[in-house]
Amino acid sequence: MDNIYVITGGSGGIGLESAKQFKDGTVIIADINEEALAKGKAELEALGIKAETAICDVTNQEQVNEVAKKAASMGKIKGVVHTAGISPSAKNCGLIMKIDLIGTENIIEGFYPVLEEGSSLTMIASMMGHIVPPNPAYDDLMVNCKEEGFIDKILPFLNDDPSSAYNFSKRGVILLSKKWLVKFGEKKIRINTVSPGVIETQMALDAARDYPEQLKYMESLTALKRNGKPDDIAKAVKFLASDEASFVTGTDLLVDGGLITNLIALQSKKQG
């Protein structure tokens, strides 16, 4: 049977670039935009990659479960790559938490039952998750993000700031990988996260037109003196999903060109 790879948010950006890495089986790209999925499928097929599509709203557990069942019926799910999410531009703290954090927990819960020995789940977090310091007051809330009243309880920590909500949600994604680590290990399946830095996706480039100085400033703080490309993240994703990473689990792989180290140092100086 075919190796099956499922990529959420797979119709564009980091998701589609990640899908292009998997040429040893069938790729299922899942997203909420049917038109974008069709374009993504055509792009993959033009590269000789077998591709299928699935409509999936990650905030809907039933839809996630259906995609998981569909994938399992097609062969062994070798890898799930969860890239679906929204940025602070959504300007809604509750929505960011619902999609970026609760949606991630939905993916974990939906795919865990159908993953087999040797399978992996790789989730996209962010270097900005490392900006948020550990604190049981909100960490405990985020690892139990599907409990009733979670959004109302986490909002006071976010100060009505969408950027803060995004940072917290991405710390939460990393924490979820730790939460599920042992349970995944019992089935000999792996769970990891990738934390990108500033990546020049089309969405980021569009935003940079309004704030070009900010993109340049971040580039200047990056140790490698360049911003990342979607391909930089896709290659890291491919590694974590491959047998070459068979002993890697519960790990967050920073792919940021050294930016977060400099940002945290700068933040510490300002506070000092």
Residue partners of 109: CB distance under 8 A and separation at least 6: 61, 64
Q: Tell me which residues of the chain have a pLDDT lower than 70.
A: 203, 206-208, 210-211, 272
> The pTM is what?
0.95
Tokens standing for 82? 């969860």
pLDDT tens, 2-54?
899 999 999 999 999 999 999 999 999 999 999 999 999 999 999 999 999 99
Q: What is the DSSP letter of 133?
A: P
Q: Hey, what amino acid is at 128?
A: M
In this prediction, residue 272 carries a pLDDT of 63
pLDDT attached to residue 271: 72
HSE-up of residue 178 (Cα within 13 Å, Cβ side): 12
Cα separation of 146 and 209, whole Å?
37
The predicted structure's pLDDT at residue 200: 87
CA–CA separation, 60 vs 253, rounded Å? 28
What the block records as the tokens of 79 is 């890898």
CA proximity to 31, closest of 78, 127, 99: 99
Q: List, for residues 208-232, the tens digit of each pLDDT value.
A: 676 677 778 888 999 999 999 999 9
**DSSP assignment of 167-207:** HHHHHHHHHHHHHHHHHHHHTT-EEEEEEE-SB--HHHHHH
Give me 185's structure tokens.
Answer: 């290990």
Helix (H) / strand (E) containing 29: strand 25-31
